Structure 1
Amino acid sequence: MTVDDPITEDDIKEILHDFQVDNDLENAEIIYEDGSNLGDGYLGVTKAITVKKGGTIFDLFVKAAPKDEKLREILSTHMEQRGEDFTNLCQIVGDSILFLFEHFNFKTILYTALDVLKEHGDGRIDRSTLGKVEESIENFYELVEETVNCDYNHGILIHGDCWMNNMQFKYDEHTKRPVDLRLVDFQVIRRTLPVMDLAYFFYCSAITQENLDKLDFYLDYYYDNLNDYVKKLGSNLAKIYPYEIFKDNWRRYCKYGIMMSLCISRIVLAQSGETLNVAEKVRTDPEEARKALFTVNLSNNDEYIERMSRVLKHAVKNKYL
């Protein structure tokens, strides 16, 4: 369990008010239950909601920031074709990512993950690779700063925290396969290169050797889809973001996703009770909560070691580290 600050019935009524009015669902029956297992939302609180009125049924999912003011303070929750509007929007959004990493002592968190690799690696990760990881951790803030000050001719607004806990999937009720996806939690949206979200997502997902071996396929797939959307906006991707520059950006900055996977993979693999109860820690020791926000004590590190062994061998082979 990480956050014990539930969404109440009154919260749900307030959230659904406009939705019910717009869809003629006043006085509808509302059924709600926990949106996911404890800890699955990590720092968010969730509810699965069913709204029924006559033959009309809506299945909804809500993920919200916790209400605890101290926790909200710690978490900082407080247009391509229209250049001027896009620039103004970027100024409003700002870029606090480096401040957040420093605020949460993220390099210390990465070094803790490195200690786990050293202690439990059992030879699956060689010393040379561990040395490259340590060097990358030491230079992590400089890497982040470089992406903050990147070439804005190729910059877009990215999600900024693009991993599975911030993705909502829709499944086909018959095949049980995912058919659609929505991103949630945009509190660290920022302007930078497209490959930053891509690298974060790729290396923090359920990495198999097959996926790692198919990296070029996924990069081409991403670029082709980006091209389709840019065309809809009336631009030519080959001119504004040539494929060669896209690939060069990947080679230079995909290390960001690899470093993030050292931390995020531990959260993904954690069982209930293995992550910090953030809300409780904030109430008893706010400063310690800030320092230990991403602390995870896995009871079994084998799967984590196997995952990171694959990722790091891939990174060394492709000279990303």
Structure 2
Amino acid sequence: MEVQMINSVKTALDVLIAKEKIKTPVKLDVNKGSDVGDGFISKNYVVSIKGNDDKTLSLFVKYLPEEISGVFKTIFVKAFQTERRFYEEIYPEFTKFQLNKKINDPFNNIPEYYKTKVNNGDAPLIIMENLKCLNYVLRDVKTPIDDSHLRISIKAYARYHAISYALKDQDFETFKRLSEDLGDFFSDSFETVGLQTMLISSVNQFIDSLDPVLDKIILGRCNNLLDRLSGVIKNNREKVDEYAVISQGDCRSNNLMFLYNDQNQPIDVKLIDWQCIRYNSPLLDFSYFFYTLSTKETLDKIQTYLNFYYESLCERIIELGSDPKKLFPREVFIDHWRKFAPFGLALSFCVIKLQLFEKDEVPDFFEKQEFDTDSLTHVNKNHKDYIDRVKVIMQHFIDNNLI
């Protein structure tokens, strides 16, 4: 079935074709992109462009539907503006800084971005390379994470965060310009986009599922749990200190694509969503990523992964010409983990539920023009698996006195 493009995407592609000097006439092959639920504030196309000279481009186009209106449009337009700011302003400065330092293996774990002029009246959009054509794929989020996927992802985050520390140390004015006025999508829109609704129902469902005898210890730590977790999400801005970085912000598994070798081991990773970047602790990224996909086995090795992250971070900060002991001392790093780990717990209640949705349970926000409360709060088909996973995480937080 032919897929019809919205006008703003057609216009942007025409500009891109001219900019890339693709010889006309061109052949356009347009298909629907990712499935419902893979992205919650955009729709997308996969576009193949082939010129009369056989020059080709394989693109992934994220866009906000033109019919979106009201408060949701305001929030989502800002998210697109944030992502464009990352690709057009922040990342180029980060890249220049790394090049000046002659880093042999720089952080480049993002897709190639194609800048196109977007008129004020057009729907927001982002055009990037189609990573699937380069054999990058999403990991099955229902499959337990393993050590190799954790390490390659943690290392990428550490190298990304290291740029902020070194740039702030060596060129504070540039870093200040890049980081000022960054919002916090989760804190700013906690109630509006349905996250609060989902957190309330998820926490209540979890508590209701606990056995008064078998789960007595966990139940004992659930007093005011909802209020505490809500506060963790809403009050992140208040915790910004001198150790803050420009973080990715939205670190769920759907926002990482992996490249594999012939032995099916991950050899590279790309971080594909930058709409929620924020200025705050790097441990918000680590905690979000780690706790929303960990298993009992990986949780039991938390100190191993914390050490791996910190050592990777320090190694890259040194390579960039700064002193990690001054910029992010280990005792401060551990304090940040304890302070920001509950953010990962809070998002686990929501993100793991979304990860375990079956295809027919995934809410389609754009179809109804509002967040479907029933879709976000119902007891899903994999409810037992969900409760089991969250219970393991809660026990981890209790054992480590994190909550």
- Residues in 1 aligned to 2:272 and 2:4: alpha-carbon distance in whole angstroms: 17
Q: What residue in structure 2 maps to residue 239 of structure 1? A: 326
Q: What residue in structure 2 maps to residue 261 of structure 1? A: 348
Q: 1:264 to 1:96 in 2, by over 3 A?
A: closer
What displacement does 1:49 show?
A: 3.3
What displacement does 1:141 show?
A: 4.2
Point out the more displaced range, 6-15 or 259-268: 6-15
The answer on whether the counterparts of 1:200 and 1:260 sit within 8 Å (CA) in structure 2 is: yes
Matched, 1:278 2:365: yes
The answer on whether the counterparts of 1:111 and 1:134 sit within 8 Å (CA) in structure 2 is: no
What do residues 70-93 of structure 1 show as CA deviations (whole Å, max 9, x unaligned)? Answer: 274264433423222322333332
Q: What residue in structure 2 maps to residue 166 of structure 1? A: 255
- Residues in 1 aligned to 2:229 and 2:373: alpha-carbon distance in whole angstroms: 17
- Residues in 1 aligned to 2:6 and 2:267: alpha-carbon distance in whole angstroms: 30
- The SS at the match of 2:61 is strand
Give the aligned residue type for 2:307.
D
Q: 1:220 to 1:15 in 2, by over 3 A?
A: farther
- Residues in 1 aligned to 2:7 and 2:260: alpha-carbon distance in whole angstroms: 31
Q: What residue in structure 2 maps to residue 180 of structure 1? A: 268
Determine which of 103, 107, 111 is the counterpart of 2:200.
111
- Residues in 2 aligned to 1:13 and 1:177: alpha-carbon distance in whole angstroms: 38
What displacement does 1:242 show?
A: 0.8
The answer on whether the counterparts of 1:98 and 1:141 sit within 8 Å (CA) in structure 2 is: no
What do residues 200-231 of structure 1 show as CA deviations (whole Å, max 9, x unaligned)? Answer: 111112x2222112212221222222223323
The answer on whether the counterparts of 1:258 and 1:311 sit within 8 Å (CA) in structure 2 is: yes
Point out the more displaced range, 265-274 or 184-193: 184-193
The answer on whether the counterparts of 2:202 and 2:377 sit within 8 Å (CA) in structure 1 is: no
Unaligned 5+ segments in structure 2 are 79-166
Give the aligned residue type for 1:149.
E
The answer on whether the counterparts of 2:248 and 2:285 sit within 8 Å (CA) in structure 1 is: yes
- The SS at the match of 1:180 is strand
Q: What residue in structure 2 maps to residue 67 of structure 1? A: 66
What displacement does 1:177 show?
A: 4.5
Determine which of 178, 189, 193 is the counterpart of 1:100.
189
- Residues in 1 aligned to 2:334 and 2:384: alpha-carbon distance in whole angstroms: 33
Q: What residue in structure 2 maps to residue 3 of structure 1? A: none
Identity across the alignment (%): 26
What displacement does 1:260 show?
A: 0.7
- Residues in 1 aligned to 2:264 and 2:45: alpha-carbon distance in whole angstroms: 21
What do residues 12-59 of structure 1 show as CA deviations (whole Å, max 9, x unaligned)? Answer: 544444554454434443333232233322333233333445675554
Give the aligned residue type for 1:171.
L
The answer on whether the counterparts of 1:30 and 1:49 sit within 8 Å (CA) in structure 2 is: yes
Point out the more displaced range, 130-139 or 169-178: 169-178
What do residues 112-168 of structure 1 show as CA deviations (whole Å, max 9, x unaligned)? Answer: 11222234446797143134245232123433455312252101111222112233x
Matched, 1:200 2:288: yes
- The SS at the match of 2:239 is coil
What displacement does 1:172 show?
A: 4.1
Matched, 1:212 2:294: no
- The SS at the match of 1:310 is helix
Q: 1:116 to 1:171 in 2, by over 3 A?
A: same
- Residues in 2 aligned to 1:7 and 1:131: alpha-carbon distance in whole angstroms: 55
Give the aligned residue type for 1:238.
K
Q: 1:88 to 1:69 in 2, by over 3 A?
A: same
- Tell me the TM-score normalised to structure 1 length: 0.81
- Residues in 2 aligned to 1:232 and 1:102: alpha-carbon distance in whole angstroms: 42
- The SS at the match of 2:180 is helix
Structure ranking higher on relative contact order (CA contacts 8 Å, 6+ apart): 1
What displacement does 1:238 show?
A: 1.4
The answer on whether the counterparts of 2:29 and 2:47 sit within 8 Å (CA) in structure 1 is: yes
Matched, 1:48 2:46: yes
Matched, 1:8 2:5: yes
Determine which of 236, 244, 254 is the counterpart of 1:155.
244
Q: What residue in structure 1 maps to residue 383 of structure 2? A: 301
The answer on whether the counterparts of 2:42 and 2:65 sit within 8 Å (CA) in structure 1 is: yes
The answer on whether the counterparts of 1:117 and 1:125 sit within 8 Å (CA) in structure 2 is: no
- Residues in 1 aligned to 2:312 and 2:213: alpha-carbon distance in whole angstroms: 36
- The SS at the match of 1:273 is helix
- Residues in 2 aligned to 1:294 and 1:75: alpha-carbon distance in whole angstroms: 19
Give the aligned residue type for 1:129.
I
Q: 1:37 to 1:146 in 2, by over 3 A?
A: closer
Give the aligned residue type for 1:8.
M
RMSD: 3.2
Q: 1:144 to 1:302 in 2, by over 3 A?
A: closer
Q: 1:165 to 1:96 in 2, by over 3 A?
A: closer
- Tell me the TM-score normalised to structure 2 length: 0.66
What do residues 236-292 of structure 1 show as CA deviations (whole Å, max 9, x unaligned)? Answer: 11111011210111012201101110011111111123133312332xxx5xx3867
